[in-house]
Amino acid sequence: MSKIEQEIAKRRTFAIISHPDAGKTTLTEKLLLFGGAIQTAGAVKSNKIKKTATSDFMEIEKQRGISVATSVMTFEYNGLLINILDTPGHKDFAEDTYRTLTAVDSVILVIDCVKGVEEQTERLMEVCRMRDTPVIIFINKMDREGQNPFDLLDELEQKLNIKVRPLTWPVNGGATFKGVYHLLEKQMYFFKVNKTKVEDDVALLELDSSDLDEKVGERDANQLREDVELIEGVYDTFNRDTYLSGKVAPVFFGSAVNNFGVRELLEAFCQISPLPAPRPTNVRTVDPLEKKFSGFVFKIHANIDPRHRDRIAFLRVCSGVFERGKFYHHTRLDKSVRFSNPYSFMASAKEVVEEGFPGDVIGLYDTGTFKIGDTLTEGEDLQYAGIPSFSPEIFKELINLDPMKGKQLDKGVQQLTDEGVAQLFTVQPGNRKVVGTVGELQFEVIQYRLEHEYGAKCRWVPMNTSRACWITSEDPKKLQEFIRLKGTQIGYDKDDNPVFLADSEWMIRMNRDNNPDIQFHTTSEFKVIAG
């Protein structure tokens, strides 16, 4: 094996996703604990946008600072180099999460066994399904009285549009939770309340042995036998290929806060999760083993110190080897760029790196040359596919309060929307600026940052719009006609694509029915794929 093959074989890059409060932060922390990347529980805890803090700017600033440090967490386990890409839990930052999902090779989805599938879970999974990202499901909080596990599995299949396959199975739940039976290892893992230490109480137990009755009690042993029989009858045997193709999600049960079920999850993850795979671009599919480097920016983070305008761009390496100080081709700007201090995120301390391999995420200091989705190569003109913009849900018009600072305001809005904080649409006449977001919090963040980082003051005027649809047509004349007819309901996104700004789903449906020659797209992805 060549060096690059070895390095690729070692890498696993993934994200943990969940509805807020299901236990993503806790699970992340426990995985890091197993990986030895942190020594004590509680270290990752602060990486949460406080759920109540919707207007505490300093809190937002502080959180932004923390989340740079914990945006990517790298640790070694069983000879693998594991990169966890953090995704903000707060709903208002969902767009950030969607984009991060384009930079991972797989995900672990955390479900709260009491609440089952929640709103955010569905939306996040939709994004995973769009690119067939392999998913492992962790059903958390088994120490609480939750739903019947079979019902939970049915709910997962129905609401998430994916088949599931349990690999561990709980013996009871809540106050009488005894542990999980590993269906492949045929071992019983006994549950203990254990918040800080990493240790297991495991017994190899054949289902039909009397030892099982002795250890878990006759009634529960019989229930387990019955359940397992049903599982083996209802669900197909687990097959790694169907998992890798995103069609079947293996399911584990546990209690993250008690370190329970986490090791089995991690072990299985190491065995089955995908290594960096070939990725589509607008020109061709790029194999990670290719000699030449390529990668794309999936996240941009502003410096938390407003006196320094520099930002950090997060680059996912897709092929070849990224080298410090080498010139690379910025395909959108058609210019050469080099980075003298790229850094990695090993053990949460920023370290300058000499090289990066496919699967790695590298932090690049940026003075404004990057936009989300930008691609770097060794000269080839290509653009990685699949950084879609999703329709925002809240739209407001941006009004400049200081005519002397128009330029600063323009620059600020431009840069903040490049970072992906929100989407900017221009509406005619008068070049009106409409900002669309998925949460109220972003408007406060933008207003605050415009003032503190760019010296520009603004106010917001709410709009009735609640959906944006990118519009295309095979007939350019029909498209122009539609745009003319809709007037101020048409905006242009940053790449000058026309977007229909609608009041409601109903209005979109009506316009879709009345205009069969116009295609309405809910994400901007169509254009990337179309090249």
Strands (E), 192-266: 202-204, 248-253
**Residues 290-315: b if buried by 16+ CB within 10 A, e if exposed:** beebbbbbbbbbbbeeeeeeebbbbb
Residues 248-287 that bind ligand G4P (CB under 6 A): 255-258
User: Closest distance between ligand G4P and the C-beta of residue 34, in Å?
Assistant: 15
Q: Which stretch binds ligand G4P (CB under 6 A): 14-22, 33-41, 150-158, 168-176?
A: 14-22
Q: Which residue has the tokens 């790449």?
A: 495
Which one-letter amino acid corresponds to residue 269? F
Which one-letter amino acid corresponds to residue 379? G
Judged by CB under 6 A, the residue of 11, 14, 17, 18 near ligand G4P is 18
144 binds ligand G4P (CB under 6 A): yes
Query: Which residue's CB is nearer to ligand G4P, number 26 or number 67?
Result: 26
168 binds ligand G4P (CB under 6 A): no
Q: Which residue has the tokens 């049903």?
A: 230
21 binds ligand G4P (CB under 6 A): yes
Q: Identify the burial level of 527 via C-beta atoms within 10 angstroms of its C-beta, where 0-12 means exposed, 13-18 middle and 19 or more buried.
A: middle
Long-range own/partner contacts, residues 212-217 (CB < 8 A, 24 or more apart) = 212/188, 215/188, 215/190, 216/171, 216/178, 216/179, 216/188, 217/178
Q: Which residue has the tokens 């242009």?
A: 492
User: Closest distance between ligand G4P and the C-beta of residue 22, in Å?
Assistant: 5
Q: Which tokens go with 213?
A: 């009755």
Q: Are strands 135-140 and 106-112 parallel, antiparallel or unpaired?
A: parallel
Q: Which stretch binds ligand G4P (CB under 6 A): 19-27, 156-164, 320-328, 419-427?
A: 19-27
Strand partners, 424: 435
100 binds ligand G4P (CB under 6 A): no
What is the C-alpha separation between 163 and 157, in angstroms, rounded?
Answer: 5
Judged by CB under 6 A, the residue of 4, 10, 20, 306 near ligand G4P is 20
124 binds ligand G4P (CB under 6 A): no
Q: Are 146 and 174 in contact (CB under 8 A)?
A: yes
Residues 462-501 that bind ligand G4P (CB under 6 A): none
Q: Which stretch binds ligand G4P (CB under 6 A): 138-146, 209-217, 374-382, 428-436?
A: 138-146
Residues 68-97 that bind ligand G4P (CB under 6 A): 89
Distances (CA, A) of 404 to 104, 295, 401: 44, 40, 9
Query: Coil, helix or strand for 10?
Result: helix
Query: Which residue's CB is nearer to ligand G4P, number 15 or number 22?
Result: 22
Judged by CB under 6 A, the residue of 120, 140, 319, 377 near ligand G4P is 140
The residue count for binding ligand G4P (CB under 6 A) is 17
Judged by CB under 6 A, the residue of 92, 95, 143, 419 near ligand G4P is 143
Q: Which tokens go with 114?
A: 């009491």
Query: Which residue's CB is nearer to ligand G4P, number 97 or number 473?
Result: 97
Residues 22-51 as x/- pattern, contact with ligand G4P by CB under 6 A: xxxxx-------------------------
Percent helix, strand and coil across the chain, each rounded to 5? 35, 30, 40
User: Closest distance between ligand G4P and the C-beta of residue 361, in Å?
Assistant: 20
User: Closest distance between ligand G4P and the C-beta of residue 215, in Å?
Assistant: 22
**Which residues are near ligand G4P by CB under 6 A?**
18, 20-26, 89, 140-141, 143-144, 255-258
